[in-house]
Amino acid sequence: MAQPPVMDSMFAFFAVVHDPRRQHPTTLHALETILTLTILATICGAQNWVELEHGGHAKAEWLAEFLALAHGIPSHDTLGRVFAVLAPKSLQAAFVSWRQALVDLRQDIVALDGQTIRRSLDSADGKGPIHVVNAWASANEVVLAQFKVDAKTNEITALPELLRMRNVAGAVVTIDALGGQVEIARQIQEQGADYVLSLKENQPSLYRDCANLFTWLRGPHPLDQPVVFGYNEQVDGGHGRIETRRVWSTEALEGVVSGER
């Protein structure tokens, strides 16, 4: 059975996922068949096991060119049972490694952002909404990894682990104000990337120092005292409004770092 090179590559990454059914005599479908069907159908928009099965039947002839389908397309019940016994961390690690091989993050912007999944609150069962932290590659337009956290406030503990899952060397990592921590910035640098961190009043001292610095930089100065800072303005229109964004930047951070202006 001739497999496209891209399939061979994907199988190599998912070969590390242990299949607990291998010694079971009633196993009819190879794990690589189930994983490949699931990934391809999900990319095409399938959102549950029934839709995954329907997607497999719709493309059965094409899938048979590189998958072992002697017993046909796995049923939705089979798909659900198989994924129920797979080790989630092993599956996640394989998936992240595969996605990493598909993109080139050099000079890309990787945005780490937490969000609450819409309509995930289940009050009847006493379950709160699902919070996840995503790593989004801007230039490649792909989610590189996703990490579930127990609560919105736990994003800060999930960010370092999410970073360790990725090779971000050469990229610029952006994080919102919650992730503006010294340890996270240091980790990003140690992994060979640059960072852009948001700063808000959740860090009052640093926020005040930076606000005072830019107030001083934009003020009048003696002619013999050069002040180095950049400025950019961008006007965008959309969603029924016009937005003007103004950005000031500087490398003169001695006052902020040392505690002096």
R_g of the chain computed on alpha carbons: 24
**Residue type, position 222, single letter:** P
Local mean pLDDT, 10-residue blocks, the chain (261 residues)? 61 85 78 91 91 94 89 93 90 81 78 76 67 83 77 73 84 87 92 91 87 85 72 87 90 65 40
> Where are any strands of DSSP class E within the chain?
109-116, 131-137, 142-149, 172-175, 194-197, 230-238, 241-249
Q: How many residues does the chain have?
A: 261
Distance CA 14, CA 31 (A): 9
Kind and range of the H or E run holding 177: none
CA distances from 200 to 11, 177, 179, 183, 216 (A): 45, 6, 11, 17, 19
Assign residue 243 a region: left if phi > 0, alpha if psi is -120 to 50, beta otherwise? beta
Distance CA 50, CA 185 (A): 43
Kind and range of the H or E run holding 95: helix 88-102
Distance CA 59, CA 43 (A): 13
> Where are any strands of DSSP class E within 58-141?
109-116, 131-137
Domain 105-197: top CATH class: alpha beta
Q: What is the pLDDT of residue 259?
A: 46
Q: What is the pLDDT of residue 128?
A: 67
CB 67 within 8 A of CB 35: no
Q: pTM of the prediction?
A: 0.64
Q: What is the pLDDT of residue 55?
A: 92
Task: Tell me which residue of 171, 176, 132, 124 sits closest to 150, measured CA to CA.
Answer: 132
Q: What is the pLDDT of residue 225?
A: 66
Chain centre to alpha carbon of residue 39: 17
Distance CA 210, CA 227 (A): 15
Helices 5-14 and 88-102 cross at an angle (nearest 10°) of 140
Distance CA 182, CA 7 (A): 41
Residue ranges per structural domain of the chain: 5-99, 105-197, 204-258
